[in-house]
Amino acid sequence: MKVELELGPRFKKDFKNLDKKVQERVLKALDDFSHDQNHPSFRLKPMKGQKKKVKIWEAHISLRYVFTFEWLDDEHTAAYLRRVGKHDIYGNP
C-alpha cells in the first residue's frame, strides 16, 4: 500500500539546506518509504523520550541522515514529514 507523504514547513526548510547529493538521496529514500515503509534499511522506530501527545517516528536515510514524521492515520496510509537532516535534528524533531 502506498503511503501519502505531506511535507511540513520545517522539513521543506531542512531539505532546502541539504547538499544536492544528499537531497537526491532523500528523494530516493522517500520514494522507497512511500512504497515500503517497513523495509529494514529505514530502521523505523518511535522516538524515545517523547512528552508530546503526537507520536513522532524516526527513519534512517543513511548512517548520517534521518527524517522524522508522524502517522496521520491508524492504518499508516499517510505521514506528515517533520524534519530531515543529521542526527542533531533529534533535539527538535
Q: What is the pTM of this model?
A: 0.89
**pLDDT tens, per residue, the chain with 93 residues:** 799 999 999 999 999 999 999 999 999 999 999 999 888 899 999 888 766 677 899 999 999 999 999 999 989 999 999 999 998 888 787
- Number of independent structural domains in the chain: 1
Q: What is the pLDDT of residue 52?
A: 66
DSSP the chain: -PPEEEE-HHHHHHHHTS-HHHHHHHHHHHHHHHH-TT-GGG--EEPSS--SSS--EEEESSSSEEEEEEESSTTS-EEEEEEEEEGGGGG--
**Domain range spanning residue 8?**
4-91
Q: What is the CATH number of the domain that holds 70?
A: 3.30.2310.20
Which pLDDT belongs to residue 51?
Answer: 66
